[in-house]
Chains A and B, each alone.
Chain A
Amino acid sequence: MSGVAADFEDRLKALMLRGQAGDAAAWRELLSALSRQLRGYFARRMDAGAAADVEDLVQETLMAIHRRRATYDPAQPFTAWAHAVARYKLIDFWRRSRIRKHVPIDDVADWLAEDGASAEEGAVRADLDRVLSVLPDRQRALVRDVKIEGLSLAEAGARMGVSEGAAKVALHRAMKVLTLGVRKP
C-alpha cells in the first residue's frame, strides 16, 4: 500500500472507531469523506449520464454503512470494509436493474487510489477504462502510472520490477496499440 493510501486508511479508521463509539462529529466527517469517495467509485462504474443513479447509490451506501456500522471489525482494514459494502450495493443495483456485470473483487486498490473524484471525472475515467481495457494488465498499469499518475519511467519500472529501458519499450508498445485501437472506426 502506498503512503497516501495508508494515511487515508488510518484517518478513516480512526473516524470509524470514534463513530462506532457514538461520536457524532467524527461520524459526520467520516460520512462526508466517504460520500466523495463513493461518488467517484460509482461514477466510474456506471454509464455517463447516470448521475441520478450514482447519487442514489451513494445515499443508499451511506445508509447501509450507518445501519450496519457494528459489523466493522477493528482488526480489519476499514477501507476494505467500506469497499465491500459499496460493492455489494453496486451489484444489488445492477441486479435490480437487470444489468449483469462483473465487479472484480480486487478493485479495492483502485478504490484506495481514488481521492474523491467528481461524477464528471468518474465518467471520464469510465471512458478511459474502456479504452485501456484492450491492454494486458501490466501494460495497462504502466500507462496509468506514467501517463495518468505522472510517475517517471524509472519509478514506474521500479514499481513493476523492470528496468527503465524495459518500461520505456513496454510503454511505447502499449501506446501504439492504443493509438491503433482509437483510430479504428
Chain B
Amino acid sequence: MKTDELIEALALDAGPSRAVSPRLMAAAALGALGAFGLVVLWLGFRPDLAEAPGTRMFWMKAAYTALLALGGFWSVERLSRPVGSSRRGLVLALSVFALLAAAGLWQFMAAQPVERMPILMGESWRRCPRNILVLGMPVLAATLLVVRGLAPTRLTLAGAAAGLFAGGVAATVYGLHCPENTMTFVAVWYSLGVAAVTATGALLGRWALRWR
C-alpha cells in the first residue's frame, strides 16, 4: 500500500482517543475481581472479618498496600507513554515503604525479646509472599494487556511498574484473608510479596509489552 493511501485510510478511521487512566483502572478492577475470586474459592476470608474493620491495624494494612498500588499506578500511567518518567510513583512507593519499615522496626525493638519472633513471623510468614504473588497474577495479566495497547518504550521498567501496581492491588485484597496484625509483619512479608509481583512484571515486560 502506498503511504498516501494509508494516510487516507487512517484519516477515515480518525475518532476521539480513549484516555489512558480509565483503561488502567478497568484492568485493575478486573484483576482485583480475579484476586477476590481466589480469596473466596481458594484461601477463604479471615475468621474475624466481621470485627476486623473496627481495628486500626486493618486499615493501616489496607492503606499501606493501597498506597503502594497508587505509586505503581502513577508509574505505569507515565511509563505507558513514550516520554514518561516514573519518578513520582516510585518516590511515593519508596516513602510509604520506608515509613512502615521504620514503624515495624520500632514495634520490633520496643517488644519484649520473647515477643519479637511472633511479631516478625506471625502465623503465616511462609505463605504470605507466595499468596500475594499468586493473587497478583490476574491483576498483572490484565494490566500488562492494557499497557501493551498503549505505548511503553522502556519495557522492563514499565513491566516493573505494572507489577508494583498489581502487587499493591493484590496485597490489598489479600488483607481480606490474612489476619496478621503487626506492622513488622506487614513491612516485611507483604512488602516481599509486592516486590515479587514487581519482579515478575519486570521479567515479563520485555516480551509481554512489545508492540508492533
> What is the predominant secondary structure among interface residues of chain B facing chain A?
loop
List chain A residues, Cβ under 8 A from B4.
32
A31 to B210, alpha carbons, bound, how many Å? 23
> What is the predominant secondary structure among interface residues of chain A facing chain B?
helix
- Contact-residue bracket for chain B: 20 to 34
**Interface membership of B81, Cβ < 8 A:** yes
List chain A residues, Cβ under 8 A from B16.
20-22
Question: Considering only CB atoms, which chain B residue lies closest to A19 in the complex?
Answer: B14
List chain A residues, Cβ under 8 A from B14.
19, 22-24, 27-28
**Interface membership of A81, Cβ < 8 A:** yes
List chain B residues, Cβ under 8 A from A92.
210, 212
| Contact call A55/B18, Cβ cutoff below 8 A | no
Distance to closest chain B CB from A82 (angstroms): 8
**Interface membership of B50, Cβ < 8 A:** no
Q: Beyond A70-B150, A76-B83, list 4 extra A-B contacts (CB 8 Å).
A: A25-B11, A58-B3, A66-B10, A88-B151
The 10 lowest CB-CB distance pairs between A and B, nearest first, are: A84-B82, A28-B11, A70-B17, A68-B151, A22-B16, A24-B14, A27-B14, A71-B151, A71-B81, A31-B7
Residues of chain A at the chain B interface (Cβ within 8 Å) = 19-25, 27-28, 31-32, 35, 55, 58-60, 62-64, 66, 68-73, 76, 80-81, 84-85, 87-88, 92
Residues of chain B at the chain A interface (Cβ within 8 Å) = 1, 3-4, 6-8, 10-20, 80-84, 149-151, 153, 210-212
